[in-house]
Amino acid sequence: MTTAQVLRTPLTELAGVRHPVVQTGMGWVAGPRLVVGTANAGGLGILASATMGFEELERAILEVKSRTDQPFGVNLRADAADAGDRCDLLIKHGVKVASFALAPKKDLIARLKDHGIMVMPSVGLPRHAEKVASWGADAVMIQGGEGGGHTGSVPTTLLLPSVLDAVDIPVVAAGGFFDGRGLAAALSYGAAGIGMGTRFLLTRDSAVPDAVKQLYLSYDVNGTVVTDKVDGMPHRMLRTELVEEIEESSRLKRLTPTLRRTLEFKKMSGMSWLDLARDGRTMKKTQGRSLAQMSLAANTPMMLKAGLVDGDTSAGVLASGQVVGVLDDLPSCEELVDRVVTEAVDHLRGAHEMLVAIDV
């Protein structure tokens, strides 16, 4: 039996979930199994669509809907050539939340909102939050530098208050969260909830191979590294032998495997060369990526798949937040969400008792 709602925040009201806990849309990790586990536990599960073809995404949405009646979301690439078509898919199937790794265009936000879909882009700076808020976004998610995958350099403790000061819409905090103390702290800052990636990856509901999960659990807080050698953008991942080799290798030495994996991704995704070129042009326009960075970006999905899906850590990379160093168990999503919420309530009550004690 999952915990009844004990915390009401703008996130729980907007998304219609019981608890202000978000399972982030991690590529190759956040599939139907993990999303269903999170949704049934009362959190907001988010499907990762960037590593899915269009038809595959529709099948995943339908699978989630067949296994839960709770709200869930889909994470979309705003710069994808078929972003509009994917948004229409969310509208068609009544998905509750659309999250974005980059700022979606104003007309896309309006289209989703017109159909009752909550729009929550991820942002890394206050000015980005201000922009999407002015375009009508319902909420934003920030990720501090502690977070896994693509990340910035500003820690959550500085990024969160600066974004809260910049906008009036709800802010969900991610980067460095793994327990109820973190949720209590985020709510005390003024956040509407927390997002967790690595913590949900390391659950029994995650489809990541068990051997890979055990590898994650063997790392300490210094076991991650932020590198731009994988896809040209700062990316936090486990410090494996492969990553160390990539860090030390020359650009020329990385060229052949990069091209091979780009071909693999093209075949797996069903994208045409024209689609890849369009995506590349959009990356260059919206993110300022160079040709070399765009080539690396096309390479990344297959390197992540090798580690997170195939379990081949000698050929794949493993995205991870710094919290990996303080995790030592594999709970179910239900156990995790219940534990986080219960701990948060205890800490918030403790803070209230301190206020009473000093007669404020």
Contact 175, 143 (CB under 8 A): yes
Burial 43-57 (b: 16+ CB within 10 A, else e): bbbbbbbbbbebeeb
Closest CA to 122 of 136, 132, 112: 132
pLDDT of residue 182 exceeding 50, the answer is yes
Gyration radius (Cα) of the chain, Å: 20
pLDDT band at 96 (very low <50, low <70, confident <90, very high): very high
The residue among 265 and 8 whose pLDDT is bigger is 8
Contact 84, 107 (CB under 8 A): no
Q: What is the mean pLDDT of residues 99-109?
A: 94
Between CA 44 and CA 21 the distance in angstroms is 6
- What is residue 248's predicted lDDT score, i.e. its pLDDT? 77
Q: Give residue-wise pLDDT tens across range 136-176.
A: 999 999 999 999 999 999 999 999 999 999 999 999 999 99
Which helix (H) or strand (E) is 193 found in, with range?
strand 193-196
Question: What does DSSP assign to residue 254?
Answer: H
Question: H helices of the chain, where?
Answer: 10-15, 32-40, 54-67, 83-92, 106-114, 126-134, 156-166, 180-189, 198-201, 210-217, 241-248, 251-269, 273-287, 291-308, 333-357
- What is residue 306's predicted lDDT score, i.e. its pLDDT? 85
Q: Give residue-wise pLDDT tens across range 61-70.
A: 999 999 999 9
Locate the domains of the chain by residue range. Answer: 10-208+329-357, 220-308
Question: CATH 3.40.50.300: does it fit domain 10-208+329-357?
Answer: no
Contact 71, 39 (CB under 8 A): yes
How many CA within 13 A on the CB side of residue 187?
A: 25
Q: What is the mean pLDDT of residues 52-63?
A: 97
Residue-by-residue DSSP string for 274-289: HHHHHHHHHHHHHH--
What's the pTM value of the predicted model, to 2 decimals?
A: 0.87
Between CA 79 and CA 268 the distance in angstroms is 19
Q: Give residue-wise pLDDT tens across range 28-37.
A: 999 999 999 9
Residue-by-residue DSSP string for 290-305: -HHHHHHHHHHHHHHH
Q: Please classify residue 91 by burial: count the beta carbons closer than 10 Å to its beta carbon, then call 0-12 exposed, 13-18 middle and 19+ buried.
A: middle
* Structure-token pair, residue 309: 């899906």
Between CA 143 and CA 28 the distance in angstroms is 19
Range scoring the smallest mean pLDDT among 161-175, 189-203, 294-308, 313-327 = 294-308
For CA atoms 339, 340, 346, 349, the dihedral sign is negative
